[in-house]
Amino acid sequence: MLSIQRITSSKKYLPFIDGLRFIAIVSVLLNHFITAYDKKFTCIAFNKFYEDHHIALLAGNSNNSVLLFFAISGFILALPFAKYYFDGSEKPVLKDYYIKRISRLEPPYLIVLTGILMLHVFILHKSSLSTIFPNYLASFFYLHNIIFQEYPTLNFVFWSLEIELQFYLLAPLLARLFYFKGYTRRSIFMFLIIAFALLNLYFTFPFKSIINYLHYFLAGMLAVDLFLSNTDKLKKNYVFDACSMILLVVIWTGYWNEKTILLPFALCLFILLSSCSKLWSKCLELKWISIIGGMCYSLYMLHHPIMALFVNRFETDILFLNSVPLDFLIRLLVSLGLVLLCCALFFIFIERPTMKRNWYRRDSLRQLFKS
């Protein structure tokens, strides 16, 4: 039977992490829809409805959401290494670590990238194959940020996946910091976070790379440190709910942004306190939230081309019921519905099978789609 629940190789699944992924992906979806709507329809950013209803505030800060994704990646990838250093759990094998990353992430990414290329060249006729192919190759090898020093042409959201890949390569080396004891280890993490935050505050680099964002991944690694070190001490408490809500507002609204040195620490505490809150953790662990959060990779890669196709297909100067609020809401719901439907199908048939360990060695396709 087909399932939409994500597959995890971890013996101890942390559903609140998928809940946090849900928070991040929702803000990204809302902001990118607003951008598309603004360009194609009524210039909503200058509309009284947009200002009166604080749409930008409600949609959240999509840049901070990407930074939350980075911190979550730091948390998840560092977890098995930290367990090994802390309590002698099974030592991660580097070969298995890298094979898992490649076999898990590459197939969906390359399928989407190649699909967008075909759509771009042969269906939409936006450019010739010879013109766009260098951009395709750069994205194929996760080098578009570096080579072209601009957002990837075929799908601009791929810029952050290039940063993620660079962290995946460095993560085992950075995980050696867990070798140090207690306060020394945490002091090193905090020093590096502040150092890279200051570096990016005062220096501008010609292209986006891990150097621009390492402090957010390190924030996730620090969260792992605090999470594992205080598992028995941090009992679920309503105080943590209140703190989580304050941090959520600070992060969601962009009150603290990437120019704020404290943002990495806010992300670190948000992850940590979400795990030991009472009501908030239950919200994050709701099945439908964890399911959507669990397929955030598919949603992140596909939402922009789907929204672009939808917006272009229904471009018109006519407002539904001659009302900006209703027009905006109807188009938003239809757009999000299409995105969820298409991404759910992609997740079930493409991404989810690659979550299975050694999926490429299975004897039949049926084994890949079993729950």
**pLDDT, tens digit, 9 for 90 and up, residues 119-153:** 999 998 899 999 999 999 999 999 999 999 999 99
Q: What percent of the chain has pLDDT over 70?
A: 92
HSE toward the beta carbon, residue 122, CA cutoff 13 A: 6
What band does 289 get if pLDDT is binned at 50, 70 and 90? very high
Q: Does the residue 184 lie in any domain?
A: yes
Q: Does the residue 91 lie in any domain?
A: yes
Higher-pLDDT residue of 37 and 84 is: 84
Q: What is the pLDDT of residue 359?
A: 79
Q: Does the residue 5 lie in any domain?
A: no
Q: Does the residue 269 lie in any domain?
A: yes
Greatest mean pLDDT among 185-189, 310-314, 367-371: 185-189
Find the domain containing 72 and state its range. 15-369
Number of domains in the chain: 1
What band does 42 get if pLDDT is binned at 50, 70 and 90? low
Q: Does the residue 6 lie in any domain?
A: no
User: DSSP state, 338?
Assistant: H
Average pLDDT, stretch 192-213? 96
- Mean pLDDT taken over the chain: 91
Q: Does the residue 206 lie in any domain?
A: yes
The number of helix segments (H) and strand segments (E) in the chain equals 18, 0
> Is residue 125 within 8 Å of residue 116, measured between CB atoms?
no
Q: Does the residue 10 lie in any domain?
A: no
Q: What is the pLDDT of residue 184?
A: 96
Q: Does the residue 216 lie in any domain?
A: yes
CB atoms inside a 10 Å sphere around CB 321: 9
What band does 38 get if pLDDT is binned at 50, 70 and 90? confident
Please write down the long-range contacts of 123-132, taking CB distance under 8 Å and 24 or more positions apart: none
Residue 79: pLDDT above 90? yes
